[in-house]
Amino acid sequence: MLKKAKHKAGYTLVELLAVISIMGILSGMGVVGFQTMVSHTRTKDAALNVAAYLERTANKARQLNETLCVRKGATANVLVTYKAACNAGNFANPIDQLVLEDQVSILEGGVPDGIGGGAINIITSTDAKASFVPRLGLLSAPYEGYVAVKYSGEYGAAVKEKTKNSFTPKWNPSGSWSEL
């Protein structure tokens, strides 16, 4: 005759603590990776949006056959387009604007080197140089320059180089610029 052994159904406290601690370590690593991914995505998205906005402004200048000026808006995350030359000072009625996410800021300086082509920031606090002048057969954008954005320590930019007839979105996640 066989004797029935008494078995306890369940887990010991040590087993539960080991599983919970392993889950905590793995989820902590996942949170850091997720935050980095969000930061990369938002920086890339801002650079792409700024490049598209500047391309749209250049096309609008050709369509209207007017000089347009892009300036930084009242807040750090807004670009505004006016139907005027940048040196005219007539900035009463905007015709278009780009509003980026709240945590993204449009930079006026302090961008890491190596952005490309010796370009200068076309959006500054003292002088908005982003005049979009219609030119036959060419993009109405400035010949060279960039608009830089920053999110959580990462930089992105829409870069216009002399050798290209379009804006190139770039980002700088680890100290060197690469195209998107």
Q: Specify the CATH number for the domain of residue 69.
A: 3.55.40.10
In a domain, 10, yes or no: no
- The pLDDT value given to residue 120: 61
Sign of CA dihedral 111, 91, 77, 97: negative
Q: Read out DSSP for 87-103?
A: TT---SSEEEEEE--TT
Q: Which residue stretches of the chain have pLDDT < 70? A: 1-8, 109-112, 114, 116-129
In a domain, 129, yes or no: yes
Sheet holding 145-151, edge to edge: 105-106, 145-151, 154-160, 167-172, 178-179
Boundaries of domain holding 78:
16-179
Q: Which of 76, 79, 108 is nearest to 96 (CA)?
A: 79
135 within 8 A of 119, measured Cβ to Cβ: no
- The pLDDT value given to residue 51: 92
172 within 8 A of 154, measured Cβ to Cβ: yes
Beta bridge partners of 94: 82
- The pLDDT value given to residue 19: 92
The model scores a pTM over 0.85:
no
- The pLDDT value given to residue 119: 56
Number of domains in the chain: 1
In a domain, 104, yes or no: yes
